[in-house]
Amino acid sequence: MADGTIFERKGLQTAAIVTHTFGRPADAMARVQGYPGYRYVMMTHPISSLDANQVRERAKAVLPEVLAILGVEDATPAEEPRHDDRYAPVRRA
Amino acid sequence: MTIATRQFDALEAARGARELIEYCYSQGWTDGLPVVPPVQEFVDEFLAQTRRDPDEVLMVQAHLDRTCNVRQAAINAVMAGCRPEYFPVLLAAIDAFEASGAPRTNLMQSTTGQAELLIVNGPIRTELGFNSSGNIFGPGDRPNATIGRALRLIVMNALGIRPHEFDQSTQGTSAKYACCIAENEEDSPWEPLHVERGYAAEASTVTVQMIRSDVYVEHRSSQVPEEILATLADSMSSAGLWTQVTDKRNLLGAVVVIGPEHAQLLARQGWSKRDVKQYLFEHFGKTAGELRRYGKLPPEVAAADDATFVPCTTSVEWLMVVVAGANNGGVSTICPSIMTGREIGQHGTREIARAP
């Protein structure tokens, strides 16, 4: 996310991709870097244990949204990506 | 003042203290344990322990746009429960940590969830009452517990690396609450860490190294140096420690905390600290066959035959050996470390400067 916002600042349009468990740090990093609400691609977790074909499938699945962020074509995903709140801290009163 | 009056005052004071402690919780300043409220008077007592400018920047997290200055260090030292005279140790620890290069990497935000290990050497150990001889990784001694805790609070509060946000540890380690040991120089047969690194024996130093955990290693039934060292090397090289984040192999390092009984047994049979480090270096790794069985053979050696030894590291300098613990059992500890982006040996030690 930091890399993506740095590219943006230098004028290079960027589609940052994170897996869904990293949504909170991604949002926080975007805020710190001066891009609150920065739009990025949320990909299913995990990635590191996949084989090459599975990674290719994941890439295909998010390609429309990558293109949409880059303004190549209108490819808004049918379902809005959301963070996995199981990883959020429990706040008690 | 009567006893009854003192009790009444104590009750009121305790209620006020609890209210302030709860306030610190509400501000998100704690590690989950209560902190000492950092009122200005307390912070000033700490700042009086150094000649350094309160605004001097000690650490930088450029990508988070955060820094830690001397004043922030003092505030967190108060909160951690330090005594004011501990503050020079904490300042030296921050300098050592910065000099190690670790704060400029992404290690504090890594899923590997690493802790900062502090190692204290020299006369200050006894002057301030550091524990070096028994239960060294456990609770019970204020300098160890609070100085180690202060550095972690600084990471959380000053650098802004908190769990569930920029601290992305998958599981972390309990060492992240506090991890500060002192070398047991009195029971060690070898030169202490700070002397090995060029400081005078009379100097007091602190060394900082990021570690993943502390791994218990036992060998009580042997007097054969190679058997004890092979056991240590095996613990350093266990399959779970091999990191595979990319196709490029991550090198590993280790802080080897040798218990006095092991150290003295080795020294009696003529092993210097350098000999020990060399042996551990040469046996720090696994065969390609073992790694293949675990599915952890690095791609760069994918064609190696089963008997080929795949080392974890490239230099004996990536190993740190200190002697600590009670002289009451054949027990040592391995603190595994990833070597990405920083050095283990040469920079992460600083002399503790005490204000006259």
Tell me what pLDDT residue B263 has.
98
Residue matched to tokens 């990506």:
A81
Structure confidence by residue, pLDDT tens digits, B155-170: 999 999 999 999 999 9
Q: How confident is the model at residue A15 (pLDDT cuts 50, 70, 90)?
A: very high
Residue B63 in contact with partner chain A when CB distance is under 8 A: yes
Q: Is residue A92 part of a domain?
A: no
Question: Residue A51's domain spans which residues?
Answer: 2-87
Residue B7: band (very low, low, confident or very high) from pLDDT cuts 50, 70, 90: low
Neighbours of B260 (CB within 10 A): 23
Distance between CA atoms of B134 and B175, rounded to whole angstroms?
Answer: 17
CB contact (8 A) between residue A24 and residue B164: yes
DSSP SS3 for A70:
helix
Nearest C-alpha in B relative to A89: B164
Preferred mutation among A1, A6, A22, A32 to probe B, highest tally of B CBs within 10 A = A32
Query: Is the Cβ–Cβ distance between B339 and B252 less than 8 Å?
Result: yes
Cα–Cα dist B290/B238, whole Å: 10
Given this model, what pLDDT does residue B112 score? 85
**What is the percentage of chain A residues whose pLDDT exceeds 90?**
53
Radius of gyration of chain A (CA): 14
Has residue A93 been placed in a domain? no
Cβ burial of B296 (10 Å; 0-12, 13-18, 19+) is middle
- Reported ipTM: the value is 0.72
Assigned domain for A42 exists: yes
CB contact under 8 A, A24 and B165: yes
Sign of the torsion formed by the C-alpha atoms of B187, B190, B193 and B194: positive
| Chain B contact probe: residue of A29, A50, A55, A90 with most B CBs at under 10 A | A29
CB atoms inside a 10 Å sphere around CB B256:
25
pLDDT score, position A92: 38
Answer with the residue of higher pLDDT: B52 or B62.
B52
Residue contact B244–A48, C-beta within 8 A: yes
> How many domains does chain A fold into?
1
Q: Which residues of B touch A25 (CB under 8 A)?
A: 109, 165-166, 168
Task: Name which residue leads in pLDDT, B329 or B356.
Answer: B329
Q: Per-residue pLDDT tens for A57-93?
A: 999 999 999 999 998 865 555 455 444 444 343 443 3
Q: Distance (Å, rounded) from C-alpha B201 to C-alpha B137? A: 24
Residues of A in contact with B63 (CB under 8 A): 2, 29, 32-33
B17 contacts B31 by C-beta, under 8 angstroms: no
Of residues B1 and B106, the one with the higher pLDDT is B106
Query: Taking CB atoms and an 8 Å limit, are B109 and A25 in contact across chains?
Result: yes
Q: What is the mean pLDDT of residues A36-48?
A: 91
- Would residue A21 count as lying in a domain? yes
CA-to-CA dists, residue B91 to B80, B149, B194, B267, angstroms: 14, 13, 17, 34
Kindly state the average pLDDT of the residues B113-142. 96
Nearest CA-CA distance, residue B163 and chain A, Å: 9
Instruction: Quote the pLDDT of residue B340.
Output: 47
Chain B residues touching residue A2 (CB < 8 angstroms): 63
Kindly state the helix (H) or strand (E) to which residue B239 belongs, with its residue range: none
Is A53 part of any domain? yes
Q: So what's the pLDDT on residue B102?
A: 83
CA end-to-end distance (rounded Å), chain B: 38
- More confident call, B53 vs A86: B53
Beta strand pairing status for B349-351 and B285-287? Answer: unpaired
Decide if A39 is inside a domain. yes
**Which residue stretches of chain B are H helix?**
3-26, 40-47, 70-80, 87-100, 124-128, 142-157, 193-196, 225-236, 260-268, 273-282, 288-294
Burial class (CB in 10 A: 0-12, 13-18, 19+), A5: buried
Mean pLDDT of B276-305: 94
